[in-house]
Amino acid sequence: MSVTDRLGGTAGASAIVVLGLICQEVGAGVAVLLFPAAGPIGTVTLRLVFSAVLLLAIFRPRLRGRTRADWLTVLAFGLVLGAMNALFYLALDRLPLGPTVTIEYLGPLVLSVVVARRASAWLWAALALAGVALLGRGGFDHLDPLGVALAAGAGVLWVGYILLSARTGRRWARLDGLAIAAAIGGLGILPFGLATAGGAFLDPRVMLFGLGVAVLSSAIPYGLELLALRRLPADAFAILMSLAPALAAAAGFVVLHQALEVWDLIAIALVVVASMGAVRAAERRRRQLPPAGEITP
């Protein structure tokens, strides 16, 4: 009997997804605690390198017999993965965790709206924009403008991550490609991490925190996702993922003591609701078309 069977099928799988999201956002909070010692680039370097080591050790991807297209795809995936995480951590250095994830999540939300190709999807997009406008309250003057730009850039790269993840999944076994991409991303950012925080990497406490970030933000969420997707439909999974901004705000409050104003919480709630609606619209569109693959945030 599988873990999801023991936990009650779909309900248990949903709980597993939420647990993975909680771990991921708590991991982001722990990463912020590491910034004073290693900086955002040093921290993301530790996360990607440790994640790559863990994933390569667990999944041991097969490297022989791969085509040039296979390698180009996973190379692009790895570079986007590294850049996306770098921008996200740089944004976290300037913004609270909740708003950072909310702004970043606009990337997948826009992708869902485009995939849906329904008038109702644009209504959800308008709701999300209203939430972001409320978050900025007329110009983001209470948020660091560069931090907002970095979070938005991470959101754009998240779209590339989703598209390249799907393409990599068609060419590699489910997490084989991700393990190799994490290694590529880690190697790509390693020189920058050494240049900005090389001395910190000699501190055992920094390395231990970096390992904790990798486990919380990557290893546990990816493993739980694998378990959940055996029982959970893709659209339900994507809807649960829409909870990320709200859980990030909660993690920022608990781990980092980042209190948000009522209007910030309302703004995050609007983006979460809009994301759920856009995912449902995209799924209805997919069911009306002949099978040709699917994209969800």
Least confident of 106-115, 157-166, 180-189: 106-115
pLDDT category, 47, cuts 50, 70, 90?
very high
Which DSSP category does 138 fall into?
T
| Token output for 196 | 């900005």
pLDDT > 90: what percent of the chain? 34
Cα separation, 255 vs 251, whole angstroms = 6
The contacts of residue 58 (CB under 8 Å, 6+ apart) are 175, 179
Our CA dihedral for 195, 200, 204, 205, rounded to 10 degrees, sits at -130
CA angle 152, 292, 223 (to 5 degrees): 60
Cα separation, 65 vs 96, whole angstroms = 45
pLDDT value of residue 297: 34
Mean pLDDT across the chain: 81
- Per residue in 185-239, pLDDT tens? 999 999 999 999 878 898 999 999 999 999 999 888 887 877 776 676 666 677 7
Least confident of 68-77, 222-231, 238-247, 279-288: 279-288
| Token output for 78 | 């790895």
pLDDT category, 73, cuts 50, 70, 90?
very high
